Amino acid sequence: IARGKTVYEANCMVCHGTDGNSAGGIPGLAGMSKAKMLGLINEFRSGAKPATIMHQLSKGYTDSQLDLIADYFASRTPVGGAK
């Protein structure tokens, strides 16, 4: 989880917020299951899910890095407390 947090803080935090709780119009990722997170990333990578920038960013990570990031998000609690 600590390694996933390091990758997240270096690359994702600006848009997706501290601990995965976004304050803006970008989705928060805290509490998202690993399976759902990896599914979405793969949709961005393949072009199946439209995006402004995630289709490009998602291709910049190894599968190992994405596993770490997904584990980190799954361990977080979304604002409001419910997962």
Per-residue pLDDT tens over the stretch 41-56: 999 999 999 998 999 9
- Could you write out the DSSP letters of every residue in 39-53? HHHHHHHHTSS--SS
Q: Name the helix (H) or strand (E) containing 5.
A: helix 2-11
pLDDT band at 33 (very low <50, low <70, confident <90, very high): very high
